[in-house]
Structure 1
Amino acid sequence: MTLSKTYSDDEYYTTEDAAKKFVDLVVVPSGTLNHKIILMPFSNSECPLYKSVSLVHDNIICFEGEQTLWLKTSEFKDVAVIDNPPFSLSAKVEKEYFEKGVPFVLFRSSVSYPKFIFKQDMLALFMKTLGEVFVSRGD
């Protein structure tokens, strides 16, 4: 499998099981799949996350070598983003999508969150701890 994340020294390994749980517990209930196009700018067609999303949506544009694909949401009509960005880009990606009003669901580390995230409307944070999913929604 070719890893599509070649930014700095970001290593990631989203297992098949984690990807399936993420799609079932977070992506499906989020409503993101109601968009015509799902953009997965960091996952190629061999990644477990792409494979899990492709089971529930049939119009996915995934990473094929274009490292700035995540910045090109305005080139698509009725697009939402679902992916697992490199840790070093997480805050930049989130800020870009908040500012442009792009609907997104990202698999990300809970190590830290930039302060701007907590100032957003319609925010939902899903945290899996001890087998439970907790949801916090912004107003």
Structure 2
Amino acid sequence: MGLGNLKRPPRKPRTLRQHLIRRLLVVIPASLLMVVLMKSGWIDFAADRMTFDKLSWFDNTKLVEHLRILVRHDGLTDEPAHCLMFIVNGDDPPNATRIDVMAKHVGNCPNPNGEFPKLFTVKVDKAERLLFTDAGTPGNFRPMPQ
């Protein structure tokens, strides 16, 4: 007699209650994990890592979105991402483009008093794909982690 001839006894079908409990044991923790990852910014950071490539350095829109994620992730500012405003200086050469990072204090941003204070400046060397910031030390630029 081979092993293929062994039969399992028939299982009782799951009740609706058992089915729902099993589904909830998977869905609730997965949902909570997604909320935590979204609130911490890790989903945006991972998406940026996957989509920001060598050519994106020459597209100011993609570069600003990349910087919006980096300055929050690296702790250069505590302002919410939607309250940051980036001003690109169009007169700069490509190897020394300056981008001023400002905080919007309007609408649903903290301290809504209508001001737009400058937080710091980011220098971008697009050809070498390097970032420098003067956050915390105005005028003194240092490499920015990427």
- TM-score by length of structure 2 reads 0.25
Which structure shows the higher helix fraction? 2
* Structure possessing the higher relative contact order (Cα contacts under 8 Å, 6 or more residues apart): 1
